[in-house]
């Protein structure tokens, strides 16, 4: 699913010299809504790409990590675009919140959170890492 999601926007990532890395701790079979998870991943990856381009990050990268713990599947998506400004990090999941004056709908993360929370009985959160934004999807096994 991760490969597939990256594939959807591979061309524009390549065009902008953005490196991607996937690390899978353990390959597992999940019984999930594939297209919905794909939609969420594409939203998050696109936002990372937008941030890297908008801020003119030279060696932009997006790293995706899949892990499993006792009760959850965890997907982390981190970029090196510098993160989300503190003053609105709590608003990024609100409907219509966007800092992209014309090109943003502000619905991507709102919908993503709804999908993860309601259809996957999971959690979608974000924090700033030392590199940029780090989104974390946690799905109950």
Ligand X SMILES: Nc1ncnc2c1ncn2[C@@H]1O[C@H](COP(=O)(O)OP(=O)(O)O)[C@@H](O)[C@H]1O
Q: What does the binding site for Mg ion look like in residue numbers (CB under 5 A)?
A: 47, 108
Task: Answer with the entry of Mg ion, ligand X, none that 17 interacts with (C-beta below 5 to 8 A by kind).
Answer: none
CB atoms within 10 A of CB 36: 16
Cα–Cα distance measured from residue 128 to residue 133, given in angstroms and rounded to the nearest whole number: 5
What's CA 134's distance to the chain center, in Å? Answer: 8
Alpha carbon 49 to chain centroid, angstroms: 10
Closer of 76 and 98 to ligand X (Cβ)? 98
Comparing CB distances to Mg ion, the nearer of 16 and 23 is 16
As measured in angstroms, the least distance from the Cβ of 65 to ligand X is 15
8 A C-beta contact, residue 45 and residue 77: yes
Q: Least separation, in Å, of the C-beta of 91 and ligand X?
A: 8
Task: Choose among Mg ion, ligand X, none what residue 75 binds, the Cβ cut-off being 5 to 8 Å by kind.
Answer: none
What are the tokens at 92? 């990024």
Residues within window 42-61 making contact with ligand X, judged by CB under 6 A: 43, 47-48, 51
- Are the CB atoms for 43 and 114 separated by under 8 Å? no
Which string of x and - marks every residue 97-116 that binds ligand X (by CB under 6 A)?
Answer: xxxx---xxxxxxx------
Choose from ligand X, Mg ion, none: what does 97 bind? Cβ within 5-8 Å by kind.
Answer: ligand X
Helix 2-15 to helix 34-54 angle (10° resolution) is 20
**Which residues contact ligand X (rule: CB under 6 A)?**
43, 47-48, 51, 79, 81, 84, 92, 97-100, 104-110, 133
């Amino acid at each position: 699913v991760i490969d597939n999601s990256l594939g959807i926007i591979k061309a524009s990532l390549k065009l902008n010299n953005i490196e991607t890395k996937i690390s899978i701790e353990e390959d597992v079979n999940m019984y999930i809504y594939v297209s919905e998870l794909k939609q969420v991943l594409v939203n998050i990856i696109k936002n990372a790409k937008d941030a890297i381009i908008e801020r003119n990050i030279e060696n932009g990268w997006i790293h995706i990590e899949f892990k499993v713990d006792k009760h959850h599947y965890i997907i982390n998506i981190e970029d090196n675009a510098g993160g989300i400004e503190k003053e609105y990090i709590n608003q990024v999941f609100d409907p219509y919140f966007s800092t992209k004056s014309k090109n943003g709908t502000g619905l991507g993360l709102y919908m993503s959170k709804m999908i993860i929370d309601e259809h996957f009985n999971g959690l979608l959160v974000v924090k700033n890492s030392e590199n940029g934004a780090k989104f974390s999807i946690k799905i109950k096994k």
